[in-house]
């Protein structure tokens, strides 16, 4: 059984499980799926400041904090106890595109050429971690939710703002991958 869990599964299996999350949450109490709202709940619980955005009954959404904790715990268990010992397989066309950008390490889940302690205090690290993190946070707040909340829950409920937000997330991702990322690597 453990060997079955360690092997890569077909992407459709995860898609079906994620898809079943939406009706399950709606049936057990009209709850909506999303990860970014948990940060707001944590801030409302831990920062009893007089900020109107954090003045609400966060305890009604405490289930979301347990969900996020479960995601973190599941990631920890999978990484430390259930990781696949085989090398990570990356599409050869993707490998060539990344090598052209100077990314050559494909033995880790995240390329060490980008995600390493040495890169944190460089211009590239500032762009990826600080500016990129700010843009993700700003975009999440501006769009009223994260990609998972809009794409999974919002589109399932046929919410037009979620369809627009998801399209904008995708366009931004395509632009970053095909235009800005190569530009950043050429400059830095």
- Interval 69-124: pLDDT, tens: 999 999 899 888 887 777 777 889 988 988 888 888 777 777 877 788 888 888 88
DSSP-assigned letter for residue 122:
S
DSSP-assigned letter for residue 160:
H
Q: What is the mean pLDDT of residues 38-43?
A: 86
Report pLDDT for 72.
93
Q: Model confidence at 174, in pLDDT bands (50, 70, 90)? A: very high
Gap between the terminal Cα atoms of the chain: 46
Cβ count within 10 A of residue 93:
8
Alpha carbon 27 to its chain centroid, in Å, reads 25
Summarised one tens digit per residue, pLDDT across range 117-158 is 888 888 888 888 889 889 888 888 888 888 888 888 888 888
Q: Does the pTM exceed 0.85?
A: no
Summarised one tens digit per residue, pLDDT across range 94-104 is 889 888 888 88
Alpha carbon 135 to its chain centroid, in Å, reads 13
Angstrom CA distances, 39 to 36, 62, 107, 111, 127, stand at 6, 11, 32, 27, 23
Percent of the chain having pLDDT more than 90?
13
Report pLDDT for 30.
84
């Amino acid at each position: 059984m453990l060997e079955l869990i360690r092997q890569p599964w077909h992407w459709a299996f995860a898609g079906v499980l994620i898809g079943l999350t939406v009706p399950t949450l709606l049936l057990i109490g009209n709850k909506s799926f999303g990860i970014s709202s948990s940060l707001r709940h944590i801030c409302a619980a831990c920062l009893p400041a007089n900020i109107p955005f954090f003045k609400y009954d966060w305890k009604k959404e405490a289930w979301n904090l347990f969900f996020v904790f479960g995601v973190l715990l599941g990631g920890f268990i999978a990484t430390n106890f259930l990781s696949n010992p085989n090398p990570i397989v990356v599409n050869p066309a993707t490998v060539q595109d990344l090598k052209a950008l100077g990314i050559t390490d494909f033995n880790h889940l995240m390329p060490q050429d980008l995600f390493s302690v040495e890169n944190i205090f460089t211009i590239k690290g500032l762009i990826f971690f600080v500016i990129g993190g700010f843009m993700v946070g700003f975009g999440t707040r501006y769009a009223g939710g994260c990609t998972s909340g809009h794409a999974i829950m919002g589109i399932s409920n046929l919410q037009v703002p979620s369809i627009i937000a998801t399209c904008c997330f995708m366009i931004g991702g395509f632009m970053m991958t095909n235009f800005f990322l190569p530009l950043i690597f050429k400059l830095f």
